């Protein structure tokens, strides 16, 4: 907020005071995390996913490649394992295998962001790294969300812009829910999309700027058809192949699954015309997805949890994680596919692989590996045409408890299910993805970590992501053939690095 009544010297000293008070708040927040570290229990800690060192995490923010590192910021409450006034936590990696936690980047320190630095994005301009975020306040029950910027020249320390907030109120097409700026450059201009909604329909609002500071409202880029949510959060728009893709995370729909739209963007009128709508992930724990800025590949991360659900690790003083990094591509039919990054192969340790095909007979179950672990990658290809069973079931059977995770495929309908209902802690449930049309082969690539499972079916045609909280540390994958035999074409399985 500008204090125009001060003369320039006074203004400078006020700015320095503000920077200092922000710095002190960041130090306090980092100290809170350091203090919590010894109290964080290992019980459900993940081995190869990014999670907070302690306390609460939600959305990935400011995903950007800058000076040789992939930077990942995230919504963070450093004072408890529940959501609270949002800070931006920060980590970076060169390879998506080894992560380095960095000092907290943003803390709510100003009038305009006093109740939280909400989600946003990052862009590189010359040597500088700019973060765009939503300043959040609730005053007498009224929501006030404004758009702000903070800048760094070393990728670690950020100074909030003197001219904040850069966008002070929502346009008449929006509502007080007006947040999550995603910024990018196109043909020499900067663009920003914001999530909002009006009259019960979620929408995405487009802004344009020449200098990243002065933003001009362009109009409604896209909106819900009336069934797709009341507020759209965390919008992201980007070119992919010769199309554009819009991602949104909806409020006001039952399952809150992230939606994607494939279509065309007309920059002259500021409109995106969707042609195809799909679900980005069919699991319960995949939300607030964002793609990276500054990379050739379209890489994405999502928050691997969900709002309003039980997170058992809170009692161990941490909550929340991000998904594995995934690459988005469009397939020949124009649908989006999400694949784990090839870099993740470096996680592979001991392996079992059966290259030739084998058959699991009717009413039999076959253990697929002796790699007893809770930290596995499994790649399985089934020959559906030569399998007579109507259903294929893969079970992760936990060894010291009766817990199970089931992955089931219905050959006739092409439906794939993830069933976590036999794990009683957390959010047990049954989740369905439709693979259309049912093909000749089913390829499943599964990543199991201590408290997460990510299923990639048919080269990312559908993915299902869930948090799981089994008591047991080890599991044996088994294939079940019920009313007929199942032909497995190939199988590979690895212990993954811890």
Tell me which residues are annotated as active site: 59
With respect to ligand FRU, which residue has the nearer C-beta, 118 or 286?
A: 118
The span from the CA of 401 to the CA of 52, in Å, is 28
The span from the CA of 343 to the CA of 341, in Å, is 5
The span from the CA of 4 to the CA of 448, in Å, is 56
Between 167 and 206, how does the x/- string for binding to ligand FRU read (CB under 6 A)?
------------xx--------------------------
With respect to ligand FRU, which residue has the nearer C-beta, 178 or 417?
A: 178
C-alpha separations of 5 from 1, 2, 8, 9, 112 in Å: 12, 9, 9, 12, 18
Contact assessment for residue 261 and residue 272, using Cβ atoms and an 8 Å cutoff? yes
Kindly report the length of the chain: 498
Contact assessment for residue 86 and residue 75, using Cβ atoms and an 8 Å cutoff? yes
Least Å from the CB of residue 162 to ligand FRU: 23
359-365-366-370 Cα dihedral, nearest 10 degrees:
170
* Among residues 59, 115, 305, 454, the one that binds ligand FRU under rule CB under 6 A: 59
With respect to ligand FRU, which residue has the nearer C-beta, 85 or 429?
A: 85
Does residue 221 belong to the site contacting ligand FRU (CB under 6 A)? no
Least Å from the CB of residue 231 to ligand FRU: 8
Give the pairing type, strands 55-66 and 318-319: parallel
The span from the CA of 169 to the CA of 156, in Å, is 29
With respect to ligand FRU, which residue has the nearer C-beta, 148 or 288?
A: 288
With respect to ligand FRU, which residue has the nearer C-beta, 75 or 175?
A: 75
With respect to ligand FRU, which residue has the nearer C-beta, 305 or 449?
A: 305
The span from the CA of 247 to the CA of 241, in Å, is 16
Closest to 194 (Cα-Cα) out of 210, 213, 208, 212: 208
Least Å from the CB of residue 147 to ligand FRU: 11
Element of type H or E holding 21: helix 8-36
Does residue 234 belong to the site contacting ligand FRU (CB under 6 A)? yes
* Among residues 29, 63, 86, 104, the one that binds ligand FRU under rule CB under 6 A: 86
Binding residues for ligand FRU, rule CB under 6 A, total 13
The span from the CA of 149 to the CA of 215, in Å, is 12
Does residue 286 belong to the site contacting ligand FRU (CB under 6 A)? no
* Among residues 167, 193, 258, 288, the one that binds ligand FRU under rule CB under 6 A: 288
Instruction: Give the footprint of ligand FRU on residues 99-138 (CB under 6 A).
Output: 118-119, 134
Least Å from the CB of residue 352 to ligand FRU: 39
Which residues of the chain form contacts with ligand FRU (CB under 6 A)?
58-59, 75, 86, 118-119, 134, 179-180, 233-234, 287-288
């Amino acid at each position: 907020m500008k204090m125009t009544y001060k003369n320039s010297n006074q203004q400078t000293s006020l700015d320095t005071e503000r920077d200092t008070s922000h710095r002190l708040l960041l130090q306090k927040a980092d100290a809170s995390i350091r203090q919590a570290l010894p109290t964080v229990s290992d019980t459900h800690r993940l081995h190869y996913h990014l999670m907070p060192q302690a306390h609460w995490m939600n959305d990935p923010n400011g995903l950007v490649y800058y000076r040789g590192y992939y930077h990942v910021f995230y919504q963070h409450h450093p004072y408890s394992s529940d959501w609270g006034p949002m800070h931006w936590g920060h980590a970076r990696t060169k390879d998506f295998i080894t992560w380095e936690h960095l000092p907290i980047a943003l803390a709510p320190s100003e009038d305009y962001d006093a109740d939280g630095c909400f989600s946003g994005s990052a862009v590189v301009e010359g040597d500088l790294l700019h973060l765009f975020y939503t300043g959040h306040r609730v005053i007498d029950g009224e929501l006030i969300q404004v758009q702000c910027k903070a800048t760094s020249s070393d990728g670690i320390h950020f100074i909030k812009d003197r001219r904040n907030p850069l966008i002070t109120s929502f346009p008449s097409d929006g509502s007080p829910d007006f947040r999550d700026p995603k910024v990018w450059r196109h043909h020499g201009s900067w663009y920003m999309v914001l999530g909002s909604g009006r009259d019960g329909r979620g929408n995405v609002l487009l802004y344009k700027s020449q200098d990243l500071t002065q933003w001009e409202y362009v109009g409604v880029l896209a909106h819900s058809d009336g069934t797709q949510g009341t507020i759209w959060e965390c919008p992201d728009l980007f070119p992919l192949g010769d199309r554009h893709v819009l991602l949104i995370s909806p409020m006001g729909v039952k399952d809150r699954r992230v939606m994607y739209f494939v279509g065309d963007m007309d920059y002259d009128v500021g409109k995106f015309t969707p042609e195809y709508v799909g679900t980005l992930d069919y699991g319960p724990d995949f939300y607030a997805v964002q793609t990276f800025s500054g990379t050739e590949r379209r890489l994405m991360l999502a928050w691997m949890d969900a709002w309003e659900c039980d997170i058992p690790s809170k009692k161990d003083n941490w909550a929340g994680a991000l998904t594995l990094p995934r690459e988005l591509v469009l397939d020949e039919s124009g649908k989006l596919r999400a694949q784990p990054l090839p870099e993740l192969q470096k996680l592979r340790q001991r392996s079992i692989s059966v290259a030739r095909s084998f058959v699991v007979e009717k009413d039999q179950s076959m253990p697929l590996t002796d790699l007893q672990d809770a930290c596995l990658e499994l790649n399985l290809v089934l020959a559906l045409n030569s399998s007579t069973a109507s259903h294929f079931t893969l079970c992760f059977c936990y060894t010291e408890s009766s817990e199970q995770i089931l992955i089931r495929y219905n050959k006739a309908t092409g439906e794939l299910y993830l069933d976590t209902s036999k794990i009683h802690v957390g959010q047990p449930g049954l989740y369905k993805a439709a693979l259309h049309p049912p093909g000749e082969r089913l390829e499943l690539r599964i990543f199991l970590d201590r408290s997460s499972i990510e299923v990639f079916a048919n080269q990312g045609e559908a993915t299902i992501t869930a948090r799981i909280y089994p008591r047991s540390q080890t599991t044996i994958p088994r294939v079940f053939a019920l009313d007929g035999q199942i032909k497995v074409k190939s199988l590979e399985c690895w212990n993954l690095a811890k």
